[in-house]
Structure 1
């Protein structure tokens, strides 16, 4: 009996320990681990000896609660809040208008630079005492400043003489959930939807609150709850009361709710015979529906609309155009302060023009015709969230219309949640790209933040990878993509390297022996996936529907531009899509400087070479090698880079828990196997055209091309028959 009790105790301890380790995954970058450095503990303890924090709104209460949660965990002692700002407090956290006049005067210059969501964190002397102040114009600024202070402490930053002034550079920093009402998630690889519609509105899952905390900690201030392939039912009263319950939670963290609006909703749930945007009854239906939503949710953000794209209904069904549709909804939202975000992801089955040109051609003539609360949302590239694309030519070309960036945080074309791919490196590449629309320095970031053309609304959206998996994102390192998106939406000029270091320190460890190699691994990971999937400008060669594995041979889909062969055009002469003046002339959609650059393969960056050019197999690359050898060696390089990632992670084992190590280690083995699959399948297929041997150093495929073609994945998560 004694031995049995001992065994039960051991099993219980092991089980409890395992659960505890898994719960660390749930906490994301808000673990607030105990600070081990003695000097830092003392420094931070001195700063937070007594904290003045005024009573007020739910936003202020949430900021105060975050301190009460975090500081005892990090410093090992309870937090003490003071009721006296001027005599006792070592840390004063208060809105600017509540500060004593002496402090207001000290911070005048800083507050001249702070917008309504910005904050300052400053060390100063007040009443002959060293203190630290967090202040802002608004309560939400206080919340953001509080999270930033805790983040600095997590990273063991020096706070004795801190002087930080920060404001978001983009107004609407939004997650787009592609969640369906049945809780499936389109292109979602981390479980089912967070939103349990059955239990709402009465049951508020703690996960909703923690989702809001995580978003607020990185400055995300808007969320679209439902799929762009919209279901009109979400606009009915039985769902709106559930949406209202979520909005009530999110409001305390500064997050506005948006909904996707199905254009045919007046017919499907309104009983009308048409959804024509110029029909008076249709216009009134949208006016009434909008008023109904705002009565429930006074801070409702507005509608995200996918129209006349991939079978979705839209104004073109009635002989109208995008302006007619968007402005009709914009007028309904205008008096309430809401926005219409109108997606530009359109391409027509009746248009045989190069798909990369179609959105630009369709939207550019409408520039300046949209109402001032309409934003056109554009994917970062002209095709569809590929591992690498040149920036979309609409960025910078639309001068009188606010244009939103749509990034994809979920890894639809990047190995789902089984591949370690640090996406802020991709985001940074796009944001730093120069459009040359107003000369050198006209970067995509300046288009998005509105500074290039003085646009009144600025938006950055990220298609969410968040599900109900315990770790939220499927792959632990995919959390860094959520984190990094938020940080870049706040400031699109941040470096992906800085963001990676922030995330690693908050999530894992501050040990430099861990940070340096793992950060290097993260920064290299996106280039690795480009190499083993789509090197040298190849794109959209994924297998049908699921977009998981290679399918460069697919040629049997009903539309030409749904087939990978449409994009690589491999034949015995060569490979690549000719988008120059001798081909589709897509290069003309860029500014003249870039048009000239992209028209010549010698001046086209080799990372985009086969995007813009169809070139012979023996074309000479800049390193003197033939195109065929260069493609083959890039595929091999991608595999080698994954091997390097495995080695790096093995060396990181002493700095993480066993659970953290094993989880990533197993996923890296999957990534290595699939990188080899990509290499072998693609090279065998392209070799059937090139008729050339693999160069030295490139491993021989382990299967035949026929075997690779036979592979099927009917249960791949997030699958649907058409691309989104």
Structure 2
């Protein structure tokens, strides 16, 4: 307003206006701090919003049950944000069009429409555009209330990503039954391998205080189809099964239940001793069997829909059935028998390695579990990590997949980035998950990918678990882009045959912007990011080169642990002649655990994929690669390529500030700067160590490390997050 009176800078009104503007700015920043995840429901372009409002003059949705209310409230919330205001509610369709939600049992209209709901199961749904009584209806229908909730989130996703909703014909159902987040959270709120603050579960204040954050957690999980949460660490405290903590778990179950999420608990195998006062936890002891049966009865009185137990046994010092000369099957079946009357399941982890030193730790799970195929109870799933070592930046798929046809195998992925740069490195794990799921087990023949194995064909149970990356940080995951890994895990747990690229496109559109000028470069960054981490950390099949205990930073020189297989030198076996772990027939023969055709391929250095060469073979430094370069030159160039890719991601992000709010933009930019610095550190420290062994010069144009090897070896990080 030209010529209008303005208060002097020191005037009380000027100070008041400044305060109002500051508070307003704080509110905007708070709204874009990452808390809303991919459920921001930002306004659509005006013309698009107007067109949708014209289609859906009213919303017809039941509200009689907890899940119905969740679906209705989420739909109205989403439409209000996307359209400026939600259409009014009505008991029946009115005007020329309506959005209708329901099941044949909850909606007489849905019952009349006779939509094709047969075969969807309780979690499936359809979204269809139909004509009824002269009105155009968009209908979200399902056999059960939980299906309508998933359908609501699907429709909102289509709107958020700018899809055409004028002629929908969607039919969806999950390919896996159990879609579970595993929280490695302790009762003191510390999180093993956690990089996003304390545990979100405030056990001390439960059951009296139910943080609203628990509901938002449930909403986010339901939006991507997850239906279970293991509340406590696999390195479990027996106290998690004590009466006081069961009451706390029951309170959480009450919050999660309206969103279709069941709670599970990690069970400590020795709990009958620690809680029950017994002198044994032997699965064959009748007292032990009675104790577990009584404990299951107690749990189900408090939590009628309790999902069951997750168990880590006889691994890394955890108690288990082998302490009594019993098998993993006997231990799992003990708990399965206790849970069976209530419909509960046991998820028995296959991550085991014994106190006895094997010739190759990668072989232990296969050796222990394959002889037990068919001996597990029908309510037991064997939970298998994606690879045979431990969530490395890259591993070949676990040989157990396809090798136990009489036992349902449940995939375990790690969402928290224990080995991929914690919260600060951008590493989209959708590509890692997809790589594993699409790997062909070739059992019983070609064309049998890992995804097919975990879909449980011929078994009553199937599932996928993800080690959560969540904490008390305002943005949930420690960084904005780490949210994408939670999102991708949920989408792939629903359908393990989906495209990681398509999932990334949806996440970017919902979390930031669907503008092609923003979406295309960011998706490209994400799709290249995990490969960059592999290159600057563990190229060409190297693995487990991280610092001991905390797993932060490079330490390929590390040795001297009480167990050799805790040390990087055990895995790379570098000497003056070459580098890599010999797992072929002339080595540990780990290749024999794969299908014969794969075993022959992996046994041949010329046929094994170069990305896994040093996983399976100890190779001379002067070995000629497909590029014509020596192994040493190729290795150094991979390190450089990883660093260069991070620099390219920084440059890409630097040009995208107009599309992102300032707060999230700054955090991503800062974290990319950290990543570039640490990628360079990984490259330099690793090369310095390898040169100390092989004495070889660097390829032309490659700069030497700026510090001596002793400098890199002197770096210590006793307080790195997630330390174990």
Interval of TM-score (by shorter of Structure 1 and Structure 2)? over 0.9
**Out of 54, 66, 73, which is 1:58 matched to?**
66
Query: 2: distance between equivalents of 1:105 and 1:512?
Result: 38
Give deviations 1:213-251, integer Å, cap 9, x for gaps.
000000000000000000010111111111000001111
Query: 2: distance between equivalents of 1:337 and 1:13?
Result: 56
Distance 1:184 1:23, change over 3 A: farther
Report SS of the residue matched to 1:513. Answer: helix
Query: 1: distance between equivalents of 2:23 and 2:708?
Result: 45
Query: Which position in structure 2 is the counterpart of 1:210?
Result: 216
Query: 2: distance between equivalents of 1:292 and 1:118?
Result: 32
Query: Which position in structure 2 is the counterpart of 1:591?
Result: 595
Preserved CA contact (<8 Å) 1:568 1:575: yes
Offset of residue 697 of structure 1: 3.3
Report SS of the residue matched to 1:29. Answer: coil
Preserved CA contact (<8 Å) 1:537 1:609: yes
Preserved CA contact (<8 Å) 1:517 1:648: yes
Distance 1:252 1:549, change over 3 A: same
CA-atom RMSD in angstroms: 1.4
Matched, 1:68 2:70: no
**Out of 61, 69, 90, which is 2:98 matched to?**
90
Distance 1:307 1:644, change over 3 A: same
Q: How does 1:233-312 map to 2 (within 5 A)?
A: 233-312=239-318
Query: Which position in structure 1 is the counterpart of 2:401?
Result: 395
Query: Which position in structure 1 is the counterpart of 2:146?
Result: 140
Give deviations 1:238-280, integer Å, cap 9, x for gaps.
1111100000111100000000000110110111111111100
Give deviations 1:656-691, integer Å, cap 9, x for gaps.
111121110000000000000000000110111221
Preserved CA contact (<8 Å) 1:44 1:153: no
Query: Which position in structure 1 is the counterpart of 2:387?
Result: 381
Query: 2: distance between equivalents of 1:355 and 1:4?
Result: 72
Query: Which position in structure 2 is the counterpart of 1:34?
Result: 43
Report SS of the residue matched to 2:342. Answer: coil
Distance 1:79 1:64, change over 3 A: same
Offset of residue 455 of structure 1: 1.8
Offset of residue 3 of structure 1: 3.2
**TM-score (normalizing by structure 1):** 0.97
Query: 1: distance between equivalents of 2:282 and 2:11?
Result: 77
**Out of 658, 661, 667, which is 1:663 matched to?**
667
Query: 2: distance between equivalents of 1:344 and 1:508?
Result: 38
**Out of 166, 181, 184, which is 1:160 matched to?**
166
Distance 1:627 1:281, change over 3 A: same
Query: Which position in structure 2 is the counterpart of 1:18?
Result: 26
Query: 2: distance between equivalents of 1:593 and 1:564?
Result: 30
Query: 1: distance between equivalents of 2:663 and 2:449?
Result: 42
Distance 1:15 1:416, change over 3 A: farther
Query: 2: distance between equivalents of 1:292 and 1:87?
Result: 53
Preserved CA contact (<8 Å) 2:103 2:111: no
Query: 2: distance between equivalents of 1:160 and 1:142?
Result: 19
Give deviations 1:357-378, integer Å, cap 9, x for gaps.
0010000100000000011101
Offset of residue 320 of structure 1: 1.1
Matched, 1:322 2:331: no
Query: Which position in structure 1 is the counterpart of 2:479?
Result: 475
Give deviations 1:71-111, integer Å, cap 9, x for gaps.
11111124311112477761111103455589756523xx2
Query: Which position in structure 1 is the counterpart of 2:6?
Result: none
Structure 1 residue runs of 5 or longer lacking an equivalent are: none
**Out of 599, 604, 617, which is 1:600 matched to?**
604
Preserved CA contact (<8 Å) 2:272 2:291: yes
Preserved CA contact (<8 Å) 1:521 1:645: yes
Give deviations 1:628-661, integer Å, cap 9, x for gaps.
0000000000000000100110111111111121
**Out of 634, 645, 651, which is 1:641 matched to?**
645
Query: Which position in structure 2 is the counterpart of 1:128?
Result: 134
Preserved CA contact (<8 Å) 1:123 1:160: yes
Report SS of the residue matched to 2:259. Answer: coil
**Out of 439, 450, 461, which is 1:457 matched to?**
461
**Out of 196, 200, 205, which is 2:202 matched to?**
196
Deviates more, 1:471-480 or 1:694-703: 694-703
Report SS of the residue matched to 2:310. Answer: strand
**Out of 110, 120, 124, which is 1:118 matched to?**
124
Report SS of the residue matched to 2:481. Answer: helix
Preserved CA contact (<8 Å) 2:411 2:464: yes
Query: 1: distance between equivalents of 2:659 and 2:464?
Result: 35
Report SS of the residue matched to 1:639. Answer: helix
**TM-score (normalizing by structure 2):** 0.97
**Out of 527, 549, 560, which is 2:564 matched to?**
560
Preserved CA contact (<8 Å) 1:23 1:470: no
Q: How does 1:685-700 map to 2 (within 5 A)?
A: 685-700=689-704
Report SS of the residue matched to 1:252. Answer: helix
Query: Which position in structure 1 is the counterpart of 2:582?
Result: 578
Aligned residues: 715
Structure 2 residue runs of 5 or longer lacking an equivalent are: 1-8
Matched, 1:356 2:362: yes
Report SS of the residue matched to 2:309. Answer: strand
Query: 2: distance between equivalents of 1:298 and 1:374?
Result: 19
Preserved CA contact (<8 Å) 1:528 1:639: yes
Query: 1: distance between equivalents of 2:367 and 2:615?
Result: 19
Distance 1:713 1:122, change over 3 A: same
Matched, 1:506 2:510: yes
Preserved CA contact (<8 Å) 1:421 1:526: yes
Preserved CA contact (<8 Å) 2:230 2:266: yes
Q: How does 1:711-722 map to 2 (within 5 A)?
A: 711-720=715-724
Query: 2: distance between equivalents of 1:3 and 1:417?
Result: 46
Offset of residue 132 of structure 1: 0.5
Query: 2: distance between equivalents of 1:699 and 1:116?
Result: 60
Distance 1:16 1:181, change over 3 A: farther
Preserved CA contact (<8 Å) 1:120 1:164: yes
Query: 1: distance between equivalents of 2:436 and 2:302?
Result: 38
